[in-house]
Chain A
Amino acid sequence: AQRVTQPEKLLSVFKGAPVELKCNYSYSGSPELFWYVQYSRQRLQLLLRHISRESIKGFTADLNKGETSFHLKKPFAQEEDSAMYYCALKKTSGYSTLTFGKGTMLLVSP
C-alpha cells in the first residue's frame, strides 16, 4: 500500500530564510507526486506537481526516487507563504485517488 510521510507538523522560519518541507513516500510502482496548500480561510488547492517540473510562487520540488522523497523548497520565505502544506501521491494507473500526508504547517515570521 502507498504511504506519504511528512515528518514535521510545524515548521517555523523567519522571513527571508530558506524553507524545506519534507515529504517521503512508499509506493511499489512509479508514483506521481503533488504538493497541495491551504491558506488561512481558503480551500485546499494544488500548488505544484512533479511532472510539470515548474516553480510556483518560488517553490520547487524534485522527485528523488532513490530516497523516495519529494521535498518542497523555497530559497527565501515570505510571510504570505504561511499555510498548511500537504504532500500527496497518486497511483499511475486508475482513478486519481490521492494519498495525502498529514500536512506541515509553515509559519513565516517577520
Chain B
Amino acid sequence: SAVISQKPSRDICQRGTSLTIQCQVDSQVTMMFWYRQQPGQSLTLIATANQGSEATYESGFVIDKFPISRPNLTFSTLTVSNMSPEDSSIYLCSVEQGVSTGELFFGEGSRLTVL
C-alpha cells in the first residue's frame, strides 16, 4: 500500500487568488490522479498526472484553471487558479495499486473554502 500526504489539509482563500496543493507519496508511482469533491457531490476526476509528460484533463477541466506539475515519481502539485466560491471543495490526490487495477489509495484531502 502507498502512504499519501497532502498539504495543506485545509485553507481559507480569497476570491481571485491561487493556491497550490502538494501531494507526496512514499513510493514511486507511475500515475497520480487529482479528484475534486464539491459539497454534497461525488468525487470527480480532474486530471491524470504522468511523470515527464503533461497532465491529461477530464472534460470540463482545463490546464489554465488547474495547472498540475509532476516533477518526479513521488510528488505532484495541483494549483487552483483565480479562485471563486464555486471552487470551494475537497481536493484529493490518489495513486493506483499496480497498473490499471482500479485500486486507488487516497490522500486525506485538502479542504478549500473560497470567500
**Chain A contacts to B: CB under 8 angstroms:** 4, 32, 34, 36, 43-46, 49, 86, 88, 90, 94-103
Contact = CB atoms under 8 A, between A and B. Distances in A.
Contacts of B102: 32, 34, 49, 88, 90, 96, 98
Contacts, number: 52
Contact of B31 (A86, A96, A99, A103): A96
B63 interface: no
A32 B107 CA distance: 23
B30 to A, nearest CB: 9
A95 B103 contact: no
B42 A44 contact: no
A101 B31 contact: no
B42 A97 contact: no
Contact of B43 (A32, A34, A86): A86
Interface residues of B, number: 23
B104 A43 contact: no
B48 A86 contact: no
Contacts of B53: none
A43 B41 contact: no
Given A97-B33, A97-B45, A101-B42, A44 B100 contact: no
Contact of B106 (A45, A99, A103): A45
A64 to B, nearest CB: 19
B58 A97 contact: yes
B78 interface: no
Contacts of B44: 100
A103 to B, nearest CB: 6
B100 A43 contact: no
Contacts of A96: 31, 33, 96, 100-104
